[in-house]
Every structure is written in structure tokens, then in C-alpha cells.
A and B are shown apart, each in its own frame.
Chain A
Amino acid sequence: MTMSEGQLAIDDIRYLQREAIAPQPPPASIVGPWAWIRANLLSSPFNIAMTIIIVLLILWIVPELLKFLVFDAAWTGQNREACIYTAQHPDVGACWPFIADRWSYFVYGSYPIPERWRVNVFFLMLAIGIVWLLWLNAPRRDIGAVYFFIVMPVCSFILLNGGFGLLYRVDTSLWGGILVTIVVASVGIVVSLPLGILLALGRRSRMPMVKTLSVMFIEFVRGVPLITVLFMASVMLPLFVPDEYSPDKLLRALIGIALFASAYMAEVVRAGLAAIPKGQFEGAMAVGLGYRQMMQLIILPQALKITIPNIVNTYIGMFKDTTLVFIVGLFDLVKTIEVARIDPQWAAPTTSTTGYVVAAAFYFVFCYGMSRYARATEARLSKADKR
């Protein structure tokens, strides 16, 4: 007799199961698409209500968006005529000819037209560097790192800035649009992580002076708005430094943003360091690793792994903050759109909205890309820790 019939009574003291119970396939009620819908969309009255509300919301928003962006949009034209209300065209959607006409301005700013190939080469070099570094199966990623952190920055500087008797010099005040946005963001991203790590280690240091200095820097920078830092750099600095020694406007903004991002990055990394169990430090010390090796081989790889979402979050925030460089008179993407949209040649009811849609799409593509890559990295790294 087995007890599987549910006959276990209080007075059944002895029990013995000699045969192993073979696994059975699950009942139909927990597999298949209908089961998924029932479990995830219709599991409770509240869930049903939310499902209905959200479906209605989507039904309301998506057609409106499509109407503006596609069906009512103007697609061809030479000037504002294409995008204004007419009898045949009572509803005007997005003004795409405006974007097509001003696109090169959005990408290059006022960079001299015959020299724009240099910007294209820079974009290409950057793309190669990013793919080389982020694609895990790429060949010789060590050379990739040298390329990305040393070769590319130097080449990009010579290429974009010119000078050195090689290329015609292009003043940074002519740079603009996506070029400036990308330059500021990549310098911020590349500089802030190593600097942030150093600051975080400094803040946890046992040496009081190093610690105090790190804390002071981090707290000061975090306590001041980025706009203030940029204002200081553009307005205050020229008061103290004679004009001919005053650093370039773009350089000032780059330094401001890089230092600003580093302070935030330092706090992110510190949180990661704090989450590493003491045993890892002791394990590393006990096998004879010195401080540098312990940090480099044991602690930081683990700490950075758990902070990837926060690091990327900081990057995304910084990427969008780069637009504040318009404060110091630089023409980033948003600023070029601002300039272009008030141009009388394209004055039409939807010109501004269309410009902003493009800016939003640009930022979204980059930020979402970062976010996806981070998710994939997280998933890959956490696989190792799981059984």
C-alpha cells in the first residue's frame, strides 16, 4: 500500500516509500499562451482593470502619434510652404523637409563644409573603437583597449582640431550639433569611470589626507549644480586668466563635465565596494596579494559588476546633461535645433515640435542602447555566479 491516495491519518506512524515517483508532465492549465495570458494579464480583478486601462491608453496614444509623425506629416518641400496650413492640408503633422534640409547642420554645426570628412572619419573611428571594445568575441581586445583609450583620442584630437601643420585648423567654436554632443559625452564617459574609481578608493583609504581630499572633492562637486560649474568656467575663469592663456571654451566644458561625472561615479563605485563581503578582502590578503592586485583582480571586478546598472544610469544621466554646454556658448545638438527652428525660412506651426522629436529620438536611441548593453552584460556576468 502506498500513501499517495491521501490516506495519511494521525495514527499512521510508519511510512515507507520504496519506489521513486517518476516526474509527470505539467497539467495543461499551466502551459501555453492562454495560460500565460490568464496568469499574467487576468490573474485578479485589479490585474484585469490595469490590463484594460493600459490597452485603452495605448489605443489612444499610438494612433495620434502615427497621425502626427506619418499620415499628416509633410515629406517633401523646399521651405516653410510645405508645412503650413492650407485648404487641402487642414491638419499639419511633422515637418520632415525641415529636418532633411538642416540635417547636416544638426550633425556638424558650423564645421567648414570642405572639412566635414574629418568629422565622418572621427565618427567611424569612434564606432570601430566602441564595437571593438564592447563586442566580446572581437579579436585582440587588448589592442582594442589601447586603440580606444590612447590611439583614438590622440588621432581624433589632431583630426578634428587640425593644426600641427597637417590639417587646416578648425576652431572649436565652429564645432556643433551631434559632433559636440558625442565629443562631450565620450570624453565624460571615458574619463569619469577611472577617475571615479580612484576617488572611491581614495574615500575608503586609511590615509586620512587622501580620504579627506577625496571626500572634499566629491561632496563639493555633488553639492554644486552642473550649470554653476559651467557658468564658473565660462564667466569667472576669464576674469582671472589673461585672454591669451584662457583655455578653449570646449575644453573648459569637457573638464567641467568630466569632473562632475567623476564625483557621481565615485559614489556609485563606492556603493559597489561597500557591498563586497569582508571575506573577499581577507581571502585576497591571505593568498599574499598586495593592495593593488587585490583591488584590480578581486574586489573591483566584483564591485563594478554589481554596479553596472548604476554606472550606466550615471552615464545616461551624463549623456543627457551634455546639452547644458549651450550655457557656455557651445552648439550641441539641442542648441543647433533651437537655432534652426527659429529660422524664418522654416517658420511653420510644427517646425519646433519636429525638431524636438528628432532630438528626443537621438537621445533615446543612444540611452536605450546603453541600457540594453548593460542588461546583457549583467545577465552574462550573473550567469557565472548561479548554479
Chain B
Amino acid sequence: MVDTATTARPAALKPTPLTSEVAVQLINMNKWYGEFHVLRNINMTVRRGERIVICGPSGSGKSTMIRCINRLEEHQQGQIVVDGVELTNDLKKIDEIRRDVGMVFQHFNLFPHLTVMENCTLAPIWVRKMPKKDAEEIAMHYLQRVKIPEQAAKYPGQLSGGQQQRVAIARALCMSPKIMLFDEPTSALDPEMVKEVLDTMVGLAHDGMTMLCVTHEMGFARQVANRVVFMDAGQIIEANTPDEFFAHPQHERTKLFLSQILH
């Protein structure tokens, strides 16, 4: 018993490795909200360990796109393949993918009736069927990593926005995800708290986590992204390395966008 416990635990403390070289692949993906064509012919490949920053004006479909990857939104045409598994209406596959894809939301979406510790251990216990003691050990490890272990017994409502967002990151990490999705993680934060969240994300990037991140933090994009993807009106307009993207934007719309946000 002791043997299996000691060998099993370190494995659970690391992200699950991807089985295939391609983490996420979107092929000719289209989505409509009723009559409105929100995502138009999206093609994108995210390789293992890549960090992608997605930016664009509001309403351009960037959040919708990453929400399609764990099926919080349904696409109507084309294919989405996550680590070799295609997303269809098969509920089993959806649950499987959600288990392996962590997500961090703009408004944290922590569970207010549970403590920070319970927020982190809930999914490992109920979804991964992990013993409570192991789940708590892992949760503590990640809470230390996001630098708030002392808040474990508190409720989310007692924490600041930045702390809540770091708990949300820890909660996602507790499931040992293969891929992390960030949906404007710093947009709802007070200016003083943006840095603590970004620092956590930079740390995660340095560990080789595959990340897709919708954000307007261009400093973050420069620092960690392999690629910056620019979207407008439901399409991917331009994608490039951060150096090239910021120094030599090609499309007129990209130039306009950059001139608006980089003063």
C-alpha cells in the first residue's frame, strides 16, 4: 500500500502529459448563435507545450473560440480535436476532455459555498475518485505554488480578486490538466492585483504547460507566448511570433488594433 501511494502521488502532482504531439486542433470550425455567425472557418493547431495568446476587439469571438475547446459552447461545423480525441455530442468524451483541460474564467467562478480547500479538492475527489487525504495534499501543494496556502480554510468571498483568481488557477491545476485555457483572467481584477495573477501564469508557462490564453496583457504575450493570434469579426486575421506580431503587423486591422492598445 505504502509503495503504491508513494509512487502514485508524485505523478498526480505533475500535469498529465499529452499523448499526441498536437494538443488542440481546430479544423474549419464554424459556430452560430441563432442567425449570427460568431466563428467563421477557424483553423488553428496548438502543439504540445505551446503558449498561445489570443487577442482582438471585444465581440471578435476569442472567448467563444476557447470555450468551444472544452465544449462550454457547441460548434456546428468543422472539427475540434483535443489531444487526439474529437469533440462530438458523445457525453463521455466531453467529460473526458473537460477532466484533462483546465479552465480559468474572467469572473473566477469559484464555488462560494465551499472553502478554498474544498474548491480545490472537489473535482479530484468526485471526478478522479482520489482519496480525500491525497486530494488535500495535492491541493496544498498547488495553493503553495500560487502563494496562498494560508487561505485554505477561508471562503472565496473573504479573498481579494487576485487571490480568488489564483485559487481558480490552483483549482484547475489540481486536476493535473494537459492543457490550460485562460479566458481573460485579469480583466475583472483591480490594477494592483493583475501582476500576482500574471506571475502565476508565467510560472506555469515556464513549467512547459500547454496554454491558450485570451488576454490583452501584451507584456505577458511578449514574455511567454510562442504565438500571438489576432481575431476580428469571428475570424483569425493574423497569427505570428510575438516579436514579429508587435514589430511588423501585416493586416490593416491588426495595425489599427495595436495602435489603439499600445500607446
Contact = CB atoms under 8 A, between A and B. Distances in A.
Given A280-B111, A386-B157, A387-B158, A297 B126 contact: yes
Contacts of A282: 72, 105, 109
Nearest to B98: A288
A302 interface: yes
Contacts, number: 68
Nearest to B168: A283
Nearest to B96: A288
A279 interface: yes
Interface string A265-283: 0000000000000011011
Interface string B95-128: 1001101110101111111000000001100110
B171 interface: yes
B175 interface: yes
A247 B232 CA distance: 68
B113 A286 contact: no
Contacts of A166: none
A305 interface: yes
B105 A290 contact: no
Contacts of A298: 111
B53 interface: no
A275 to B, nearest CB: 13
A243 interface: no
B23 interface: no
B257 interface: no
B87 interface: no
B72 A287 contact: no
A382 to B, nearest CB: 10
A297 B122 contact: yes
A386 B113 CA distance: 11
Contacts of B175: 287-288
Interface string B160-192: 000000000001100100000000000000000
B215 interface: no
Nearest to B109: A283
B171 A287 contact: yes
Count chain A CB atoms within 10 A of each CB in B95, B111, B157 and give the residue with the most. B111
A163 interface: no
A304 B77 CA distance: 39
A387 B159 CA distance: 8
B123 to A, nearest CB: 4
Given A279-B107, A287-B123, A301 B98 contact: no
Contact of A289 (B102, B127, B157, B172): B127
Given A285-B98, A287-B171, A387-B157, A280 B109 contact: yes
A385 interface: yes
B123 A288 contact: yes
Nearest to A294: B126
Nearest to A291: B91
Contacts of A385: 112-113, 155, 157
A378 to B, nearest CB: 13
Contacts of B103: 286
Contacts of B25: none
A239 interface: no
B70 interface: yes
B113 A289 contact: no
Given A293-B127, A384-B157, A286 B111 contact: no
A279 B127 contact: no
A93 B33 CA distance: 73
B95 A287 contact: no
Contacts of A279: 105, 107-109
Contacts of B172: 286-287
Contacts of A286: 70, 72, 98, 101-103, 105, 109, 172
Contacts of A285: 70, 72, 98
Contact of A384 (B70, B113, B126): B113
Contacts of B99: 288
Count chain A CB atoms within 10 A of each CB in B103, B113, B172 and give the residue with the most. B113
Nearest to A282: B72
Nearest to A383: B155
B79 to A, nearest CB: 21
Contacts of A287: 98, 102, 122-123, 127, 171-172, 175
B42 to A, nearest CB: 20
Nearest to A290: B95
B116 to A, nearest CB: 12
A386 B172 CA distance: 24
Contacts of B109: 279-280, 282-283, 286
A283 B70 CA distance: 12
Contacts of A305: 113
Contacts of A293: 126-127
Contacts of B126: 289, 293, 297
Interface string A173-190: 000000000000000000
A298 B107 CA distance: 16
Interface of B: 70, 72, 95, 98-99, 101-103, 105, 107-113, 122-123, 126-127, 155, 157-158, 171-172, 175
Closest 8 CB pairs of A and B: A283-B109, A287-B123, A288-B99, A286-B103, A279-B109, A288-B127, A288-B98, A385-B157
Given A288-B98, A301-B113, A387-B158, 9 more contacts: A283-B110, A285-B70, A285-B98, A286-B70, A286-B72, A287-B123, A289-B122, A305-B113, A384-B155
17 contacts: A279-B109, A280-B111, A283-B105, A283-B110, A286-B72, A286-B101, A286-B109, A287-B122, A287-B172, A288-B99, A288-B123, A290-B127, A301-B113, A302-B112, A305-B113, A381-B113, A384-B112
